[in-house]
Amino acid sequence: MTGANQAEDWAIVLPTRARCVIRSAPTTVLGVPEPERSDRYRLPVGFRTLRRLGLVACALVGLVLPASTTGGAQTGSYTGLGDSYAAGPVVPTQQPTPIGCLKSDHNYVHLVATALATPFRDATCSGAKTDHMTTPQNVDGGPNPPQFDSLDASTTLVTVTIGGNDIGFTEIARSCFTGDPNSHPCQDRYVVGGVDEISNRIAAAAPKVATVLQGIHTRAPDARVFLVSYLSILPEVGNGCWPQLPFAYADVPYLRAKEQELNNMLATQAAANGAAVVDAHVGSIGHDACTAPGVRWVEPVPATALAAPLHPNALGMECVAQLVLAQVDPGNAFAQGLCRPPVAQPVMSVPRFTG
């Protein structure tokens, strides 16, 4: 749920063999061969304190995906809306439209469009809040236009993931990170005098999400609308996996409950405003950031794949696309090839030297 307009900092550390480059804006994009699938989720990505956005560009050759359209009416078209959980920050290949949106051409929007073989617009942008549906979002290389500009009367399918930045996802994560697993800084910060600030923020975001869904129906009255919830970051049970996720043991159940509360709010607003829910949270249980590479759909801190920390990796994007397609187009043949973990490479045995 990242974004340049939120003064966040991604310190990306990439191996030289990946031939990726990091630049402050303006960013230089280099074309390089795509690594084997078994490497795709394992390239290490470092994470620093979130302060000021740095941009990563790593142009990799992947699936041939249809290009999203940039304007004009479309017949039977699909539009993807949302924040970084839809955009795919750092996941290859990052798109320059604008570069500050940190949007991948292998995010779930692109993959769904590929499966449906339909014209589409990917309006997603990392850091987006509900008000960026109707107002420009200031990002490097931008601004990104209001996301609702990508809707019109010919739009027949809309997906949206939104609300996390309205409650302050990045600030919450930063405030809850700790070097002491036996402390509880998160609850100390957000639960004071019996008042839960995060719960209050979730409640305040509910009418904003409702307004987004109503606005979609107004601009695209014939569209089927699917609200895609947030993936599970933390294990469904237990006290987490500090320091892989640097949340204190006592804070993990609290944070898990807050994410569930956010997703429950989204489901309630969807039901009240004519949208179906794609429950990515339930679908991703067992694939949280504490699980192993090739199993997890969300990256830990630091990330070990080309993806932002605490965000979906390439496998996660494939699996969310499969969840969307299961509701949008059951039995879709392309979907059957998605959400497969990387193939492990055989380990070569080296003869022991005996002299």
As a whole number of angstroms, the distance between CA 171 and CA 91 comes to 22
As a whole number of angstroms, the distance between CA 221 and CA 127 comes to 27
Per-chain mean pLDDT for the chain = 82
The strand pairing partners of 103, in sequence order, are: 95
Above 90 in pLDDT, residue 234? yes
The per-residue pLDDT for 341 is: 82
C-alpha dist (Å) from residue 262 to 66, 164, 234, 290, 300: 33, 8, 14, 20, 20
Tell me, yes or no, whether 261 lies in a domain: yes
As a whole number of angstroms, the distance between CA 224 and CA 216 comes to 10
Above 60 in pLDDT, residue 44? no
Please report where in the chains the tokens 């302050």 appear, as a residue: 168
Tell me, yes or no, whether 344 lies in a domain: no
Active site residue 281: no
H helix runs in 30-143, sequence order:
37-40, 84-87, 108-116
Reduced to 3 states (helix: H, G, I; strand: E, B; else coil), residue 239 is coil
Query: How many domains are there within the chain?
Result: 1
The per-residue pLDDT for 31 is: 28
Q: Cis omega before residue 302 (within 30°)?
A: yes
Active site residue 311: yes
The per-residue pLDDT for 76 is: 73
Encoded tokens for 214:
């109503």
Tell me, yes or no, whether 38 lies in a domain: no
Reduced to 3 states (helix: H, G, I; strand: E, B; else coil), residue 89 is coil
Instruction: Please compute the mean of the pLDDT values over residues 98-110 and round it to a whole number.
Output: 97
Instruction: Please compute the mean of the pLDDT values over residues 158-165 and round it to a whole number.
Output: 98
Selected residue with higher pLDDT from 76 and 177: 177
Residue count (the chain): 355
Instruction: Please compute the mean of the pLDDT values over residues 233-254 and round it to a whole number.
Output: 98
Instruction: Please compute the mean of the pLDDT values over residues 284-295 and round it to a whole number.
Output: 97
Selected residue with higher pLDDT from 4 and 65: 65
As a whole number of angstroms, the distance between CA 258 and CA 100 comes to 28
Report the candidate in 337, 313, 280 with the shortest Cα–Cα distance to residue 42: 313
The per-residue pLDDT for 346 is: 54
Tell me, yes or no, whether 17 lies in a domain: no
Above 50 in pLDDT, residue 60? no
Question: Band of the pLDDT at 39, cuts 50, 70, 90?
Answer: very low
Tell me, yes or no, whether 1 lies in a domain: no
As a whole number of angstroms, the distance between CA 342 and CA 109 comes to 21
Instruction: Please compute the mean of the pLDDT values over residues 131-149 and round it to a whole number.
Output: 97
Find the catalytic residue in 106, 281, 287, 311: 311
The per-residue pLDDT for 322 is: 98
CATH number at residue 167: 3.40.50.1110
Tell me, yes or no, whether 355 lies in a domain: no
Reduced to 3 states (helix: H, G, I; strand: E, B; else coil), residue 339 is coil
Above 50 in pLDDT, residue 134? yes
As a whole number of angstroms, the distance between CA 44 and CA 249 comes to 25
The per-residue pLDDT for 345 is: 52
How much helix, strand and coil, in percent to the nearest 5, is found in the chain? 35, 15, 55
Report the candidate in 105, 102, 108 with the shortest Cα–Cα distance to residue 89: 102
The per-residue pLDDT for 23 is: 31
Above 70 in pLDDT, residue 43? no
Above 50 in pLDDT, residue 38? no
Tell me, yes or no, whether 330 lies in a domain: yes
The per-residue pLDDT for 339 is: 97
Selected residue with higher pLDDT from 258 and 37: 258
Q: How many CA atoms lie within 13 A of 326 on its CB side?
A: 16
The per-residue pLDDT for 54 is: 35
As a whole number of angstroms, the distance between CA 64 and CA 128 comes to 27
The per-residue pLDDT for 342 is: 76
DSSP code per residue over 16-30 = GGGT-EEESSSPP--
Find the catalytic residue in 84, 126, 232, 284: 84
Question: Band of the pLDDT at 2, cuts 50, 70, 90?
Answer: low
What does the DSSP 8-state code read for residue 142?
Answer: -
Tell me, yes or no, whether 218 lies in a domain: yes
Instruction: Please compute the mean of the pLDDT values over residues 98-118 and round it to a whole number.
Output: 97
For the chain, percent of residues with pLDDT exceeding 70: 75
Contact between 152 and 73 (Cβ < 8 Å): yes
Give me the domain span that covers residue 206: 65-337
Encoded tokens for 267:
């489901």
The per-residue pLDDT for 1 is: 62
As a whole number of angstroms, the distance between CA 52 and CA 68 comes to 29
Question: Band of the pLDDT at 29, cuts 50, 70, 90?
Answer: very low
The per-residue pLDDT for 58 is: 36
H helix runs in the chain, sequence order:
37-40, 84-87, 108-116, 169-176, 185-190, 197-219, 251-272, 280-283, 314-328
